[in-house]
Chains A and B, each alone.
Chain A
Amino acid sequence: NAGVTQTPKFRVLKTGQSMTLLCAQDMNHEYMYWYRQDPGMGLRLIHYSVGEGTTAKGEVPDGYNVSRLKKQNFLLGLESAAPSQTSVYFCASSYLGQGASQPQHFGDGTRLSIL
């Protein structure tokens, strides 16, 4: 009963390097999200997806790209990492259901440091 799984859990990058964060969910959820969590700012939405093959921008999309090639996976890419992207990244998913009352299920997070 894995739920939402994020890999890796920790990563240190140098400025300019690229990397991909992987999110996988086994609950057959339609919706998936990427958030970043910074001290004193709560969680902010980076990108989201309402279904396989679809993605859309959230509040803070600059410097990130995403892909949802399979329903269960949602990838977050940093093409050229910057120190401002040092953060904890959370993936979440939710069921389509009826209306917007469906809760989101979160992964354990990826702690990313950009030097």
Chain B
Amino acid sequence: AQSVSQHNHHVILSEAASLELGCNYSYGGTVNLFWYVQYPGQHLQLLLKYFSGDPLVKGIKGFEAEFIKSKFSFNLRKPSVQWSDTAEYFCAVNGDTGRRALTFGSGTRLQVQP
């Protein structure tokens, strides 16, 4: 079975601070990894994904994530956050199974103070 852990439940930053959100997964086979963002009152939107190739993945809005296979990690980073980044962030994994459903972490609520 696959599982995802997000250790930071609530993060508060000031504008222009750097961000790193942790994500660790558990799955023995080939994985596809995703970060989704949910702005207040909205649906989930894809930030970025990793499925093969360069382990450093760049997404929308200046976000990036690094896949470290040896650590089973896929941490999300942004060098300088903005107030508009206030949202909930979900890491998700999809093992190479026929079901293709995502297993989500519990989410990290990011609050950026102006």
Residues in chain A within 8 A of chain B (CB atoms): 4, 31, 33, 35, 40-45, 48, 50, 56, 58, 90, 92, 94, 99-104, 106-109
Contact = CB atoms under 8 A, between A and B. Distances in A.
Contacts of B4: 42
B100 A94 contact: yes
Chain B contact residues: helix, strand, loop or mixed: loop
A42 B35 CA distance: 12
Nearest to B91: A42
Interface string B84-104: 000000100011111111111
Given A48-B101, A90-B43, A100 B9 contact: no
A106 B6 CA distance: 21
A42 B94 contact: no
Nearest to A103: B46
A110 B95 CA distance: 27
A50 B6 CA distance: 28
Contacts of A58: 101
B25 interface: no
A107 B51 contact: no
A43 B107 CA distance: 9
A104 B106 CA distance: 18
Contacts of A44: 104
A107 B34 contact: no
B51 A99 contact: yes
A58 B94 CA distance: 14
Contact of A108 (B43, B100, B103): B43
8 contacts: A4-B43, A33-B101, A41-B106, A42-B104, A50-B98, A58-B101, A100-B32, A100-B51
